[in-house]
């Protein structure tokens, strides 16, 4: 199937912006219908799902100008991959929001919850459909922001705050790396359009290489994707994010947020795929897959187990995308779908367990199948899929990974490259182990202390059931595939997603289809090894579990330890810094501000190699010399003035001399202003002087030396700045324009005034607004102080 129809602009726009508008209306809706807001939100998600579905089979761009002067447009691109993520975000959104109706019953601050969930869904849809680098970045960071709100939902709990801050720090920082990568891409290609890059992948990669920026761009985009998709060592935010209410965990960590990272890799795969790409992402993905699977075995909490498992499966997808061959793209595309179905189902199951059994500790749970038979059935399908046990859905995509890893090893000529398949098998063994452990929550004996578990409400049971059925259908599809019966539409869809992740002219081997293997291939052998090793190791699960925990108790081996040390260390540092820099003394503030401004300015001049201009035509007339001489005397007198009165008076000498200098330099307007302001200052000083202490007090010598040096430096900076800035003589200065146009256009002979009230009147208006504002602030501050409201 070759989709050629163009997407409908209004539908695409509606998909992205409807959730935001709906989020804005949530407080109103909540006031009207209370807790049933969940169904309102679910209806919105369903509408989005419908809109996404209506664009199924289209392919193309919808574009609106945004920042014309920079070539940035608000454009949306519809293809297989974006439709897939769109379907996931909105479809799982429907289920999650329905489920929330049951789960969030009686929970606090629900309007905020639904509003941020809807906003999150909208940002995710924006990420999926963005056809422009800047638009993609904006929506990308919006997902970070809204997930911050969601993860920190229980905002009074310290652990929630910690988790929300951590995810925000890591994902937003990762996004900034990605932004730099995008800007480099723009610098090389001159385009912000993703579509352009997808249409000319070879050209773009060639340009990047010749500019020597290929590796930096690859690395920067990789950091962004790794932060979002929780790749080692940035995976640490994901387990903490389980602080969020369970539906949020299911949404963020199965279907959407973390998928943004793999989506990014899929999106840029056609453009950046290369040997370096394979080395970076195959290694990163396989490492994550294995490390996270091992950590999942060490987990003691069911949501923690699932969180690590998510990181592990994302590693699998990243590794899939990492392999250069077409198979790699296929692996990633297919596993995104499989993972979303079984992981969302499992998270919802975990929510049911936590909600109904009242605990999430693995050791306190067991034998749940008698009380929760339907849930047990769902879990069996989903967990076996997650384990990669044939014939369940995860098995097929893992087969693809094994196949591409094997192929990559063979292609590379063996040797070290066989580490790829070996690590893939190792990771899968641990995946098998923790998946079975999760399943065993429903079997075996009920531990003492676990009371009778109630059945969950229907709203909570239906969504995981639906997901389980989908996972089951995908599984059955594989078995049927062996007999030559395929789900045509499903295979077509996966083909389209696959096509989005490979170069436009790649060979797709006649499209995607999957079936239960009927003859021995290396991949089948690897699967068999995995299952056998897993089955052999399972009886020793307890030992492994303790072993993993013993290893992760060692600080230097934990990524989290580095994070905590860095964050808390920096906190301490900033506390100490603010105690030194902002100690409440005006003098200190002035010292730091002046010193840093002077330092930065001088460093800037030094860094840019500014040359001081030559002194030509440097002639001083006698009057000017005289005036400046008196000014210098005044300046010296200020610094040695014994009292405030004489200080102010001598300062005025300096001011008036400057005014006279302006007169001599043919600037009467400036002179007048200087004169008047100086007079006013003098008068105001006299007004407040008798309130001040008569003496300066005794300052110690060290401080005086410091202040002296500082004033010398500031003076030198200003001097150099004036020299440097007046040395520049632009070719076509604007002065001439004002001189010529002042009378005909402004109707005034005083050019300065004409500029103020005519050419730049808008600036002046802003300035007088500021003056008025300053007066109001003084008034308010004084009034507030007396009322004691400034605590």
Partner 1 sequence: MSTVIARTVTRTVVPIILVTAIALLLQGHNLPGGGFIGGVLTVTAFALIYVIYGLDYLEEELLHRNRDPLLESIRHGIVENYQVAFGVGLAVAVVAGLVPILFDYNFLYQSHWYIKPLPIYGKLHVASALAFDLGVYFVVVGALLTILGVVGTE
| Contact residues: partner 1, CB under 8 A | 668-669, 671-673, 676-677, 679-680, 683-684, 686-688, 691, 746-750, 752-754, 756-758, 761-762, 764-765, 768-769, 771-772, 774-776, 778-779, 782-783, 785-787
- Least Cβ distance, residue 733 to partner 1 (angstroms): 22
Nearest distance from C-beta of residue 752 to partner 1, angstroms: 8
CB closer to partner 1 out of 586 and 683: 683
Element (H, E) at 595: helix 586-607
Nearer to partner 1, 575 or 789 (CB): 789
DSSP secondary structure letters along 65-121: EEEGGGTEEEEEEESHHHHHHHHHHHHHHHHHHHHHHHHTTT-S-HHHHHHHHHHHH
CB of 663 to partner 1, least distance (A): 10
Least CB distance from residue 585 to partner 1, whole Å? 20
Listed in order, strand segments (DSSP E) in 386-539 are none
Look at residues 421, 424, 437 and name the one whose alpha carbon lies nearest to residue 386. 437
Nearer to partner 1, 482 or 753 (CB): 753
Residue nearer to partner 1 on the CB measure, 614 or 786: 786
Q: Least distance from C-beta 651 to partner 1, angstroms? A: 17
CB of 628 to partner 1, least distance (A): 22
Lookup: tokens for 610: 């500014």
Closest to partner 1 by CB, 705 vs 761, is 761
> What's the closest the beta carbon of residue 776 comes to partner 1, in angstroms?
8
- Decide whether 129 or 662 has the Cβ nearer to partner 1: 662
Give min distance, CB of 55 to partner 1, in A. 43
CB of 769 to partner 1, least distance (A): 7
**DSSP string of 700-743?**
-HHHHHHHHHHHHHHHHHHHHHHHHHHH---TT-SHHHHHHHII
Nearer to partner 1, 367 or 748 (CB): 748
Distance CA 418, CA 413 (A): 9
- Quick one: 268 exposed, middle or buried, by C-beta within 10 A (0-12, 13-18, 19+)? buried
Q: Which is nearer to partner 1, 430 or 661 (CB)?
A: 661
Could you tell me the smallest distance in angstroms from the CB atom of residue 739 to partner 1? 14
In degrees and rounded to multiples of 5, residue 280 shows phi and psi of -65, -55
CA distances from 373 to 380, 386, 488 (A): 11, 20, 33
Rounded-to-integer distance, Cα 516 and Cα 456, Å: 35
Among 529, 579, 526, residue whose Cα is nearest residue 418: 526
- Least distance to partner 1 from the beta carbon of 757, Å? 4
Rank residues 359 and 764 by Cβ distance to partner 1 and give the closer one. 764
556/687 with CB nearer partner 1: 687
CB-nearer residue toward partner 1: 169 or 757:
757
Q: If DSSP codes are grouped into helix, strand and coil, which group holds residue 554? A: coil
DSSP classification of residue 584: S
Burial degree of 275 (CB within 10 A; 0-12, 13-18, 19+): exposed
Judged by beta carbon, residue 691 or residue 701, the one nearer partner 1 is 691
Mind spelling out the 3-state secondary structure of 9-52? HHHHHHHHHHHHHHHHHHHHHHHHHHHHHHHHHHHHHHHHHHHH
Question: Which of 103, 92, 106 is closest to 45 using CA atoms?
Answer: 92
Minimum distance from CB of 622 to partner 1 (Å)? 25
Nearest residue (CB) to partner 1, 33 versus 684? 684
Specify the residue, 476 or 667, whose C-beta has the smaller distance to partner 1. Answer: 667
Q: List the structure tokens of 658.
A: 């400057």
Taking Cα atoms as reference points, which of 257, 277, 279, 276 lies closest to residue 268?
277
CB of 588 to partner 1, least distance (A): 23
Q: Which helix or strand (DSSP H or E) is residue 62 part of?
A: strand 60-67
Name the one residue in this structure whose structure tokens are 């069911």: 302
Q: How far apart are the first and last CA of the chain?
A: 69
Distance in Å, CB of 677 to partner 1, minimum: 6
Rounded distance, CA 498 to CA 332, Å? 8
d(C-alpha 781, C-alpha 783), whole Å: 5
Q: Does the bond joining 648 to the residue before it have cis omega, within 30 degrees of 0?
A: no
Tell the smallest beta-carbon distance from residue 785 to partner 1 (Å): 7
CB of 742 to partner 1, least distance (A): 10
The sign of the dihedral angle between the CA atoms of 743, 746, 750, 752 is negative
- Cα→Cα distances 107→153, 154, 248, Å: 10, 10, 14
Distance of CA 10 to the CA centre of its chain: 28
Distance, in Å, from the CA atom of 528 to the CA atom of 523, rounded to the nearest integer, reads 9
User: What are the phi and psi torsion angles at 75 (to 5°)?
Assistant: -115, 150
Please say which residue, 445 or 786, places its beta carbon nearer to partner 1. Answer: 786
The residues, any chain, with a CB within 8 Å of residue 144's CB and separated by 6 or more, are 167, 168, 171, 172, 175
Q: Which is nearer to partner 1, 583 or 753 (CB)?
A: 753
């Amino acid at each position: 199937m070759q989709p050629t129809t163009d997407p409908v602009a209004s539908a695409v726009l509606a998909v992205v912006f409807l959730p935001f508008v709906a989020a804005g209306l949530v407080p109103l809706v909540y006031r009207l219908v209370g807790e049933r807001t969940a169904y309102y939100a679910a209806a919105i998600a369903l509408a989005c799902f419908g809109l996404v579905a209506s664009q199924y089979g289209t392919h193309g761009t919808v574009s609106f100008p945004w920042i014309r002067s920079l070539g940035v447009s608000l454009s949306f691109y519809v293809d297989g991959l974006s439709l897939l993520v769109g379907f996931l975000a909105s479809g799982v959104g429907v289920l999650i929001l329905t489920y929330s109706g049951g789960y969030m019953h009686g929970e606090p601050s629900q309007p905020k919850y639904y509003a941020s969930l809807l906003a999150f869904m909208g940002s995710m849809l924006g990420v999926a459909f963005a056809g422009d680098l800047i638009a993609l970045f904006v929506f990308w960071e919006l997902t970070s922001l809204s997930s911050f709100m969601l993860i920190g939902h229980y905002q009074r709990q310290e652990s929630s705050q910690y988790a929300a801050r951590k995810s925000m720090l890591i994902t937003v920082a990762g996004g900034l790396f990605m932004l730099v990568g995008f800007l480099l891409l723009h610098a090389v290609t001159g385009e912000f359009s993703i579509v352009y890059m997808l249409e000319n992948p070879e050209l773009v990669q060639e340009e990047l290489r010749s500019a020597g920026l290929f590796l930096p761009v690859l690395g920067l985009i990789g950091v962004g994707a790794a932060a979002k998709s929780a790749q080692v060592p940035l995976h640490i935010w994901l387990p903490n994010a389980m602080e969020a209410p369970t539906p949020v965990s299911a949404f963020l960590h199965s279907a959407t947020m973390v998928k943004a990272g793999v989506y990014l890799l899929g999106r840029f795969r056609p453009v950046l795929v290369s040997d370096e790409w394979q080395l970076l992402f195959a290694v990163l993905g396989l490492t994550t897959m294995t490390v996270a699977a091992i950590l999942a075995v060490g987990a003691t909490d069911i949501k923690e187990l699932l969180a690590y498992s998510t990181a592990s499966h994302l590693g699998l997808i990243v590794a899939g995308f990492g392999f250069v061959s077409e198979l790699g793209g296929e692996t990633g595309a297919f596993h995104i779908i499989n993972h979303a179905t079984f992981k969302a189902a499992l998270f919802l199951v975990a929510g049911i367990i936590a909600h109904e059994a009242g605990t999430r500790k693995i050791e306190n749970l067991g034998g749940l199948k008698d009380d929760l038979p339907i849930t047990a059935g769902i879990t069996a399908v989903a967990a076996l899929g997650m384990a990669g046990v044939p014939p369940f859905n995860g098995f097929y995509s893992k087969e693809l990974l094994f196949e591409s890893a094997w192929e990559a090893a063979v292609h590379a000529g063996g040797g070290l490259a066989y580490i790829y398949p070996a690590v893939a098998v190792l990771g899968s063994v641990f995946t098998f182990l923790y998946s079975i452990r999760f399943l065993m929550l429903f079997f075996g004996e009920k531990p003492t202390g676990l009371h009778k578990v109630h059945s969950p409400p229907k709203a909570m049971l239906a969504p995981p059931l639906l997901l389980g059925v989908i996972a089951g259908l995908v599984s059955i599809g594989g078995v049927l595939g062996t007999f030559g019966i395929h789900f045509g539409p499903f295979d077509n869809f996966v083909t389209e997603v696959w096509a989005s992740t490979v170069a436009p002219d790649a060979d797709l081997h006649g499209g995607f289809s999957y079936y239960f293997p009927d003859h021995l291939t290396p991949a089948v052998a690897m699967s068999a090894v995995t299952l056998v090793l897993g089955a052999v190791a399972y009886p020793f699960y307890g030992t492994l579990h303790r072993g993993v925990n013993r290893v992760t108790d060692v600080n230097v081996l934990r990524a989290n330890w580095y994070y905590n040390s860095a964050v808390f260390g920096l906190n301490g540092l900033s506390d100490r810094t603010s105690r030194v820099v902002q100690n409440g003394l005006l003098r200190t503030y002035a010292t730091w501000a002046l010193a840093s401004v002077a330092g930065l300015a001088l460093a800037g001049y030094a860094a840019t190699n500014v040359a001081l201009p030559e002194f030509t035509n440097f002639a001083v007339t006698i009057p000017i010399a005289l005036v400046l001489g008196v000014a210098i005397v005044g300046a010296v007198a200020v610094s040695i003035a014994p009292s405030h009165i004489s200080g102010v008076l001598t300062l005025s000498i300096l001011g008036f001399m400057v005014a006279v200098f302006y007169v001599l330099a043919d600037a009467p307007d400036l002179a007048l202003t200087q004169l008047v302001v100086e007079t006013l200052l003098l008068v105001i000083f006299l007004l407040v002087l008798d309130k001040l202490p008569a003496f300066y007090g005794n300052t110690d010598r060290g401080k005086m030396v410091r202040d002296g040096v500082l004033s010398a430096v500031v003076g030198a900076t200003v001097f150099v700045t004036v020299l440097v800035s007046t040395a520049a003589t632009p070719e076509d200065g604007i002065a001439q324009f004002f001189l010529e146009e002042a009378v005909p256009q402004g109707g005034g002979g005083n050019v300065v005034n004409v500029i103020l009230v005519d050419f730049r009147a808008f600036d002046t208006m802003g300035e007088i607004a500021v003056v008025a504002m300053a007066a109001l602030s003084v008034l308010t501050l004084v009034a507030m102080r007396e009322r004691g409201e400034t605590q």
